Structure 1
Amino acid sequence: MTEAFNMFMNQAASQGREYGDGFNSSHFDGLTQSELTKVLRIIEERALDGDAIAINATSFININDAVSIIEKVLRKSGSLGRKSINQASLEAYKITRQRKYLDNMFDHLGLCSEQERWHCIQLLCSIEYGNEWFEEAKAVFEKIVLDEQDEVLRHSAAKKIILESGIPEGTTIYQEKIKQLINEERKVREKALSDL
């Protein structure tokens, strides 16, 4: 057995916080074909059970295998929680850059439980959209800034808007805009958005 396979199996057998640390590329580099087959089976079984760690691990495997597993997960959207589906959508987008996976997250944001919504917004804020797609995504982030009661989510959405607007993090204007966009008063947030 290769060292990578032993590392993968140890990580797969771990629990709690250690398992939550997830897999990394060293768990996959140099696997034999027979080991890879076993690894893919484990990842697929766990992903189909809604395991977000396993879904995230698809980013380390062959694109065709990853998309195959993710598509199977997405077909189970009726029986899996939105957290798993959103994680699968994010991984599919990162691998393929196909807009339909982002749309799946945006279109179902309102169907998420509070915890799933929090997770989904954080995932959406982690994506690099590029100019053409961010203009459409921006409306969702603006709505979060204006309507969200959770200050952490407002902050995440505000940060995404500011950074995508080209204002570098850590600058004085960045700090000012963040303060305005997470302000308790909606009018202050509205004005800050209109000034961007």
Structure 2
Amino acid sequence: MKLILIYWKIIQSTLATENYDSILKETSNWISTNDLHKKIGTDKAQMIESCKTLLAMGYLKTNPKQSKLFYRKDDKAQSEFDFTMLMDAFEMNQKTELHNLSQLSSVMRNDGKGLRQKCLDVLEHVNEEVKRANMVKAKLDYQKKSSLVSAGIADERIKKLDAYIEKIMNAVASKNKDDVTVKAIQTYFKQHEMKLEEFKI
């Protein structure tokens, strides 16, 4: 349980996924935290939290033998233990978002011209969680095609991730089914580069 909480805290600590691509682009070879920060130029604390999340998701590895912390992109498949810990952390976050969704008494503003701020806050969290799950799926698909992981293991893990994504997105979709609300939610996810057809909204 302690390890699950560690994974959960790491993944929960970083909402923004915007700098993931920048980090992965600069970590083809070993690179120190300071050098990585110089190349990316973003807030250092946020970058470090993003690196921790990418580590938990199996996208990065570190070299603990060095006096400084170095990062490098990791193409190897996660062990079953690490993947299980990751899914447990995802599911803990999902429980939080499902609870937050259930607490929304109203999705739309009183004037009916947009989503309430509380709803937007929840959707932001949901959006980031789904993005992270899709990143893990993308890596598994790459590993499967590159024979870095067996098709059976990759397909089984992708199936679990699909179920995870479908559960939270169905909860969002079922919150309110009137046309105005559905359109507002669709607009939000379109603006945040979500492929709505995948999530059946």
Q: What TM-score range do you get, normalising by the shorter chain? A: 0.3 to 0.5
Q: Give the number of the structure whose residues are more often strand, by fraction.
A: 2
By relative contact order (CA 8 Å, sep 6+), the higher-ranking structure is: 2
Q: TM-score, normalised by structure 1?
A: 0.34
Q: Give the number of the structure whose residues are more often helix, by fraction.
A: 1
Q: TM-score, normalised by structure 2?
A: 0.34
